[in-house]
Every structure is written in structure tokens, then in C-alpha cells.
Amino acid sequence: MQQPSSVQGLRVDVSLDLRGQTPPECYAKTREQLARMVEDQILEVCVDEGEVLRTLPFGLRADGHEILISEPMSGGVRMLIRKRSLIA
């Protein structure tokens, strides 16, 4: 994990580098980390290009989280995700 930083005016609270992991592993680890965070915190996730970019955002949105940024980076893609809680 990385220390909090400011990116384009957004405070990144936690960072995960999941490059090299399978799409199901990326989703599971991202969900686990978001479960440990509080509402409105921002998670930075670095993933490989490919299938994970089709599945991860879809699953996270279905869980109620907000994808703020998805941008290319050296060796993959960087996503910023705002933790949200679904209201039952």
C-alpha cells in the first residue's frame, strides 16, 4: 500500500497494484479492500489491459461503487474508485 496522495485534486487513500493477476483475483482483491474502507474514500487500482477492463468496472458499479478515472499508465491501466455503499 502507498501513502495517501493527491491526484488531479482527488485524494487517493489506498493503492493496489494488481497487474499480473487474473480478472477474478483483481475483482476479489479490489472488493476486499473496498470493504475495509469507509464511504467516499478513494482506491487506486493498477491493472493489466484486456479482460479485466471489461469485467472489473462492471462488477464494481454493480456493487454500487463509482469509477472516477480509468486511464492508461506504463504497463497497464490506472483506475480511481470511490467507495460507495448500496442502500438496501
Domain containing 27 — which CATH number?
A: 3.30.110.40
Question: How far lies 45's CA from each of 33, 38, 79, 83, in Å?
Answer: 10, 16, 5, 12
Band (88; pLDDT cuts 50, 70, 90): low
- Cell representation of residue 45: 487500482
Q: What is the pTM of this model?
A: 0.86
Domain contains 88: no
Total domains, the chain: 1
Paired with 14 in beta bridges are 43
Domain contains 17: yes
Residue 5, pLDDT above cutoff 70: no
Domain contains 44: yes
Q: Which domain holds residue 32?
A: 5-82
Domain contains 49: yes
Domain contains 35: yes
Domain contains 77: yes
Task: Write out pLDDT tens, residues 24-54.
Answer: 999 999 999 999 999 999 999 999 999 999 9
